[in-house]
Amino acid sequence: MTLAPNAGRDDPLACVPPFRGKLTDPRVGQTLDRLDVLQVNVGRLCNLACKHCHVEAGPNRTEVMSRDTMEHCLRVLDAWDFRTLDITGGAPEMNPDFRFLVDRGTAAGVHVIVRTNLVILHERGYDDLPEFMAERGVEIVCSLPYYSERDCDRQRGAGTFRSAISMLRRLNDLGYGKDDRLSLNMVYNPGGAFLPPPQAGMEREYKLKLGAEHGIVFNRLFTITNNPVGRFGAFLVRSGNMTGYMRRLHDSFNPVAAEGMMCRSQLSVGWDGRLYDCDFNQALDWTVEGTDRIGDLSGDRPARRNIRLGNHCYACTAGSGSSCGGATA
User: What pLDDT sits at residue 326?
Assistant: 94
CA-based nearest residue to 273, from 292, 286, 289: 292
Beta strands in 77-219 (DSSP E): 84-88, 111-116, 139-143, 184-188
CA-based radius of gyration for the chain:
19
60 phi/psi in degrees, rounded to 5: -95, 0
Residue 132: CB atoms within 10 Å: 16
**What pLDDT digit, counting tens, does each position of 180-224 carry?**
999 999 999 898 899 999 999 999 999 999 999 999 999 999 999
- 8 Å CB contact between 196 and 190: yes
In this prediction, residues 27-46 reach a mean pLDDT of 96
Is cis: bond before 90, omega within 30 of 0?
A: yes
| pLDDT, position 6 | 39
Residue 79 contacts residue 216 (beta carbons within 8 Å): no
Which CATH number describes the domain made up of 33-243+259-310? 3.20.20.70
The confidence score (pLDDT) of residue 236 equals 95
Lateral strand order in the sheet of 139-143: 220-223, 184-188, 139-143, 111-116, 84-88, 37-41, 266-269, 275-276
For the chain, counts of helices (H) and of strands (E): 11, 8
303 or 177: which leads in pLDDT = 177
Indicate the length of the chain as a whole number: 329
pLDDT confidence tier of residue 302, bands split at 50, 70 and 90: confident
pLDDT of residue 19: 97
Mean pLDDT of 150-159: 88
pLDDT digits (tens, 9 = 90+) for 97-132: 999 999 999 999 999 999 999 999 999 999 999 999
Check whether 7 has a pLDDT greater than 70: no
Segment holding 267, helix H or strand E = strand 266-269
Between CA 234 and CA 155 the distance in angstroms is 14
Output the pLDDT for position 2.
43
pLDDT at 259 > cutoff 70: yes
Name the average pLDDT for the chain: 94
8, pLDDT greater than 70? no
Q: What is the pLDDT of residue 5?
A: 40
Report the pLDDT averaged over residues 158-167. Answer: 94
Yes or no: say if 40 and 97 are a contact pair by the CB < 8 Å rule.
no
Is there a contact between 61 and 169 (Cβ–Cβ < 8 Å)? no
Q: What is the pTM of this model?
A: 0.94
pLDDT at position 140 over 90: yes
**Three-state SS at 24:** coil
pLDDT tens, position by position, 69-99: 999 999 999 999 999 999 999 999 999 999 9
- 258-280: average pLDDT: 97
Q: Where does the pLDDT of residue 4 fall: very low under 50, low under 70, confident under 90, or very high at 90 and above?
A: very low
Q: Which residues of 180-215 are buried (b: 16+ CB within 10 A; e: fewer)?
A: eebbbbbbbbbbbbebbeebeebbeebbeebeeeee
